[in-house]
Amino acid sequence: MKKEAQIGEEGKVRKIIHIDMDAFFASVEQRDFPELRGKPVVVGSPSPRGVVAAASYEARKFGVKSAMPSKIALKRCPHLIFQPHRFDVYKSVSAQVMDILYEYTDLVEPLSIDEAFLDVTTNKKNHKSATIIAREIKQRVRKETQLTASAGISVNKFLAKIASDQDKPNGLFVIKPDEVLPFIEKLSIRDFFGVGRKTAEKMNKLGIYTGKDLQAWSLNGLVRHFGKAGNFFYSISRGVDNRPVVPNRVRKSVGIENTFGKDLETDAERNDQLGILKTGLWQRVNKSRKFGRTITLKIKFNDFKQITHSKTVLHKIETEEEMSKLVMQLMEEVKFDKKVRLMGLSISNLEGEKTHHNPVQLTIDFD
């Protein structure tokens, strides 16, 4: 394999992880509603114009997929269970997962609400193995969200993304540097990340069915048939993908929220849940080592009316006691004349970062 396929900006072999939550929306529904576990569940509407947003693995066995029209999904699985989407819950769980990822590296590139790349060539935990990091992340995700994630590990984004699909659900798959070319040679062109259905059909017509077939083509030949994309196909067929992991968000706040299965009616119920949120928020602040000056309380009532109250202080909020005092002041400003569906807390105006671990260069160890 060409050496440059493995080398980052500093001349070091890169270690890239792709984390992908398993059947994310549907899995959240099965987690929150135990009666749905083990059953074919989709998130979406059963209406004639409805579309499946996500499908559980039980539903996928019937050929039901995301983005499929609901009427087709019902034909394939007449006993399909439709759940309405709860995007506020999915966003909250996604934030939990991203918080975990940022504990290992600042080089996190979210692709969507349920997947992200990490560059752990250097990391905050002083681990010598990318596989250890991925396994730890999976364990943390399971413990903190009661959901599973699959991980792919390799020397670049293209291979890490493909690797995460190899052993789903709850999988962990590694493509080591010396395994890259043999892996690609056997890979069906339809499984190449970046090769869509129509492109795959065009390649098949040209006699290209596997990575080995693609490797046999010259750069000029691929460009002639596929335009600029031919350059990409030529490179990835040889294991070359020098695209960096690009963090596409700057953290502006640390937050937590919860949508309740049963609306909160009493002061006692609200205070109990608020205590859980305060503890969870401070744990996230401590883990991220990012302290801010503004605390925000978010309330959504059972009629879906949403309010926020914020308070900003002159100095960083650096103790849980100080944060709790500010939260209770905000609670006193809220008129609770309706049941509460959701509560959330966040700290913003982040002013600093403390770290306990300096980044440490990893050895070439994928095991």
Please indicate, yes or no, whether residues 163 and 109 belong to a single structural domain of this protein. Answer: yes
Q: Which residues of the chain have pLDDT under 50?
A: 1-5, 9, 353-364
Asked whether residue 128 is assigned to any structural domain, the reply reads: yes
Q: Which two tokens stand for residue 322?
A: 């100080």
Nearest by Cα to 167 from 156, 154, 152: 152
Nearest by Cα to 104 from 91, 92, 94, 116: 116
CA atoms within 13 A of residue 175's CA, in its CB half-sphere: 30
- 14's CB contacts (< 8 A; 6+ apart) are 6, 7, 8, 119, 121, 155, 156
**CATH number of the domain bearing residue 309:** 3.30.1490.100
Q: What is the pLDDT of residue 254?
A: 83
Q: What is the pLDDT of residue 145?
A: 93
Contact 270, 319 (CB under 8 A): no
Nearest by Cα to 314 from 343, 294, 337: 294
Q: What is the pLDDT of residue 157?
A: 94
Please indicate, yes or no, whether residues 159 and 19 belong to a single structural domain of this protein. Answer: yes
Please indicate, yes or no, whether residues 197 and 92 belong to a single structural domain of this protein. Answer: no
Q: Model confidence over 277-322: pLDDT tens digits?
A: 999 899 888 877 778 889 999 999 988 788 888 888 888 898 999 9
With b for 16 or more beta-carbon neighbours within 10 A and e for fewer, the 54-66 pattern comes to bbbbbbbebebeb
Domain span holding position 110 = 3-24+88-178
- 128's CB contacts (< 8 A; 6+ apart) are 362, 363, 365
Asked whether residue 277 is assigned to any structural domain, the reply reads: yes
Please indicate, yes or no, whether residues 105 and 60 belong to a single structural domain of this protein. Answer: no
Please indicate, yes or no, whether residues 219 and 333 belong to a single structural domain of this protein. Answer: no
Q: What is the pLDDT of residue 10?
A: 52
Q: What is the pLDDT of residue 362?
A: 38
Strand (E) positions, 213-252? none
Please indicate, yes or no, whether residues 295 and 331 belong to a single structural domain of this protein. Answer: yes
Contact 150, 20 (CB under 8 A): yes
Q: Are strands 115-119 and 81-83 parallel, antiparallel or unpaired?
A: unpaired
Domain count, the chain: 4
With 0.85 as the threshold, say if the pTM is over it. no
Please indicate, yes or no, whether residues 173 and 136 belong to a single structural domain of this protein. Answer: yes
Strand (E) positions, 137-252? 149-154, 172-174
Asked whether residue 359 is assigned to any structural domain, the reply reads: no
Asked whether residue 270 is assigned to any structural domain, the reply reads: yes
Asked whether residue 307 is assigned to any structural domain, the reply reads: yes
Please indicate, yes or no, whether residues 58 and 159 belong to a single structural domain of this protein. Answer: no
Point out the residues that are catalytic: 115
Please indicate, yes or no, whether residues 14 and 153 belong to a single structural domain of this protein. Answer: yes
**CATH number of the domain bearing residue 67:** 3.40.1170.60
Q: Model confidence over 317-356: pLDDT tens digits?
A: 989 999 999 999 999 999 999 999 989 999 988 865 443 3
Alpha-carbon span 50 to 71, nearest angstrom: 8
Alpha-carbon span 297 to 287, nearest angstrom: 21
